[in-house]
Copies of this chain bind each other. A is one copy, B any other.
Amino acid sequence: MKSYSELTREELLELKSELEKKYEEAKAEGLALDMSRGKPSPAQLDLSRGMLDVLNSSSELKAENGTDVRNYGLLEGIYEARKLMGDIMGVPAENVIVCGNASLNIMYDLVSRAEVFGFDGCTPWAKLDKVKFLCPAPGYDRHFGITELFGIEMITVPMNEDGPDMDIVEKYVNNDESVKGIWCVPKYSNPQGVVYSDETVKRFAALKPAAKDFRVFWDNAYAVHDLYPEKEVKLLNIFDECKKNGNENMVFELCSTSKISFSGAGISAVASSKNNIEEIKKYMTKQTIGYDKINQLRHVKYFKDINGIKEHMKKHAALLRPKFEAVLDTLEKDLAGTGVGTWTKPLGGYFISFEGLEGTAKAVVQKCKDAGMTLTGAGATYPYKNDPKDSNIRIAPSYPSLEEMSKAAALFTICVRLVSIDKILETK
**Chain A residues near B (Cβ < 8 Å):** 37, 39-40, 42, 45, 48-53, 55-59, 61, 68-74, 100-102, 104-105, 108, 112, 115-117, 126, 142, 145-146, 149-150, 258, 262-265, 283, 286-295
Q: Report how far A32 CA is from B328 CA in the complex, Å.
A: 65
- Scoring A74, A105, A142 by chain B CB atoms within 10 A of each residue's CB, the highest score goes to A105
Query: In the complex, are the beta carbons of A289 and B102 less than 8 A apart?
Result: yes
Question: Which residues does chain B contribute within 8 Å of A39, judged by CB atoms?
Answer: 71-72
Identity of the chain B residue whose Cβ is nearest the Cβ of A113 in the assembled complex: B112
Q: Which of B37, B50, B70, B265 contacts A70 (CB 8 A)?
A: B265
Identity of the chain B residue whose Cβ is nearest the Cβ of A265 in the assembled complex: B294
Query: In the complex, are the beta carbons of B52 and A55 less than 8 A apart?
Result: yes
The contact sample of 19 A-B pairs, CB cut-off 8 A, is A39-B71, A42-B71, A45-B70, A45-B71, A50-B57, A52-B59, A70-B264, A72-B263, A72-B264, A100-B100, A104-B287, A108-B286, A112-B116, A116-B150, A145-B286, A146-B287, A149-B283, A263-B289, A265-B292
Nearest-Cβ distance from residue A129 to partner chain B, whole angstroms:
14
Q: Report how far A56 CA is from B49 CA in the complex, Å.
A: 7
Nearest-Cβ distance from residue A139 to partner chain B, whole angstroms:
16
Nearest-Cβ distance from residue A303 to partner chain B, whole angstroms:
15
> When A and B form their complex, which 8 residue pairs have the shortest distance between CB atoms, in order from nearest?
A265-B294, A49-B57, A70-B262, A108-B287, A45-B70, A105-B288, A265-B292, A102-B288
Counting every copy of the chain, the complex holds: 2
Q: Which of B108, B150, B292 contacts A101 (CB 8 A)?
A: B292
Query: In the complex, are the beta carbons of A264 and B126 less than 8 A apart?
Result: no
Q: Report how far A58 CA is from B51 CA in the complex, Å.
A: 11
Question: Which residues does chain B contribute within 8 Å of A263, judged by CB atoms?
Answer: 70-72, 289
Q: Report how far A262 CA is from B145 CA in the complex, Å.
A: 34
Question: Which residues does chain B contribute within 8 Å of A289, judged by CB atoms?
Answer: 102, 104, 142, 258, 263-264
Q: Report how far A294 CA is from B71 CA in the complex, Å.
A: 19
Q: Which of B142, B145, B262, B292 contacts A100 (CB 8 A)?
A: B292
Question: Which residues does chain B contribute within 8 Å of A72, judged by CB atoms?
Answer: 37, 39, 258, 263-264
Nearest-Cβ distance from residue A277 to partner chain B, whole angstroms:
18
- Scoring A49, A74, A294 by chain B CB atoms within 10 A of each residue's CB, the highest score goes to A294
Identity of the chain B residue whose Cβ is nearest the Cβ of A287 in the assembled complex: B108
Question: Which residues does chain B contribute within 8 Å of A52, judged by CB atoms?
Answer: 55-57, 59, 294
Nearest-Cβ distance from residue A251 to partner chain B, whole angstroms:
22
Query: In the complex, are the beta carbons of B45 and A53 less than 8 A apart?
Result: no
Nearest-Cβ distance from residue A39 to partner chain B, whole angstroms:
6
Nearest-Cβ distance from residue A23 to partner chain B, whole angstroms:
30
Nearest-Cβ distance from residue A280 to partner chain B, whole angstroms:
14
Query: In the complex, are the beta carbons of B264 and A73 less than 8 A apart?
Result: yes
Q: Which of B51, B55, B265 contacts A293 (CB 8 A)?
A: B265
